[in-house]
Amino acid sequence: MTFRLSKETKLAGMLCLAIYASLTFVVVLLYFPSDLTSYVPDTTGLILQNLTYSAGHQGFLFTLALLMSFSAYCIRQSNHKLHYLVQLGLLLVLSFGAKSVLKEFTQSPRPYTETLTQLQVLPSPQSFYSLSTKEKDKRIQQVGESVSEWRTKHWIGETDYSFPSGHTIFASICVLFFGGILFSERQYFAASVVILWAVGVAGTRLWLGMHRPVDLYGSMLFALILYTLVPYHYPVVDKMLGKLKNH
């Protein structure tokens, strides 16, 4: 029974990721490349900012708590809730840790550095990363008259490398893990909401000039590899629960 549940849930998660990737491809065709010097209405800026925050350090814990609470309610009759929790913890820790390593390994400049170069505050995108944090912020502030603050405030906050996208890795983990659980529990509407939210997050990363399509799809592939390798069932959890019951 455990293996069957694991296989069904993982297959459902992979299906959700395939839908996520397909919808993101449509967004890429429609909106990439974005004109990073275009006018941004306050309503648009606020909506897209909150979307990107929901998968970043500003709001990912709230998103995680919301998805965990609803998913826990859906599987309240299951005897495998602790196994799910351990799997989720491993996925998040491994993805966040590996993301930082991959960024330093690939050292791909963020797309907005190309705009800084076009606006002649940088000689080249690569030169941005030889500057101190204070100098990076100063160069970004210099284009304040040409680029909306709805974008530059995010540029100042994220001056590391582009590949892979941490926001997209988190969103992909959510689609795979929570989408898989919800889909396998026949909560199709809730699974669809998770997928559409993740598409929105991916779209904001393009719109802000933080990432290219290759960053997004590389992140999805990386999340899929982790999801495939990280097991569902943990015998040590069963042993621990057995000892607690005996006591």
User: Digits of tens for pLDDT over the chain (247 positions)?
Assistant: 344 456 788 899 999 999 999 999 999 999 888 899 999 999 999 999 999 999 999 999 999 999 999 998 888 776 667 778 888 999 999 999 989 899 989 999 999 999 999 999 999 999 999 999 999 999 999 999 999 999 999 999 899 999 999 999 999 999 999 999 999 889 999 999 999 999 999 999 999 999 999 999 999 999 999 999 887 755 555 555 455 555 5
* pLDDT for res 147: 96
Q: Are 63 and 174 in contact (CB under 8 A)?
A: yes
Distances (CA, A) of 234 to 85, 104, 116, 148, 239: 11, 32, 49, 49, 9
Q: Are 71 and 182 in contact (CB under 8 A)?
A: yes
Q: Which two tokens stand for residue 115?
A: 């705009």
Burial of 78 (0-12, 13-18, 19+ CB in 10 A): middle
Domain ranges for the chain, please list them: 18-31+42-108+161-232
* pLDDT for res 79: 67
Q: Measured between alpha carbons, how far is 17 from 6 in angstroms, rounded to an integer?
A: 16
* pLDDT for res 34: 87
**How many CA within 13 A on the CB side of residue 100?**
5
Q: Measured between alpha carbons, how far is 195 from 182 in angstroms, rounded to an integer?
A: 11
* pLDDT for res 75: 82
Closest alpha carbon to 114 in 24, 204, 33: 33
In one-letter notation, the amino acid at residue 15 is L
Q: Which two tokens stand for residue 164?
A: 């892979």
Q: Measured between alpha carbons, how far is 129 from 113 in angstroms, rounded to an integer?
A: 10
* pLDDT for res 240: 57
Q: Measured between alpha carbons, how far is 62 from 158 in angstroms, rounded to an integer?
A: 20
Q: Which two tokens stand for residue 155?
A: 């540029």
Q: Which two tokens stand for residue 160?
A: 């590391």
Q: Which two tokens stand for residue 42?
A: 């306050």
Q: Measured between alpha carbons, how far is 243 from 219 in angstroms, rounded to an integer?
A: 39
pTM of the predicted structure, to 2 decimals? 0.90
Q: Give me the sign of the Cα torsion angle 2, 8, 14, 19.
A: negative
* pLDDT for res 230: 85
Name residue, tokens 């795979």: 176
* pLDDT for res 4: 44
- Give every CB contact of residue 15 below 8 A, 6+ residues apart in sequence: 183
Q: Are 140 and 116 in contact (CB under 8 A)?
A: yes
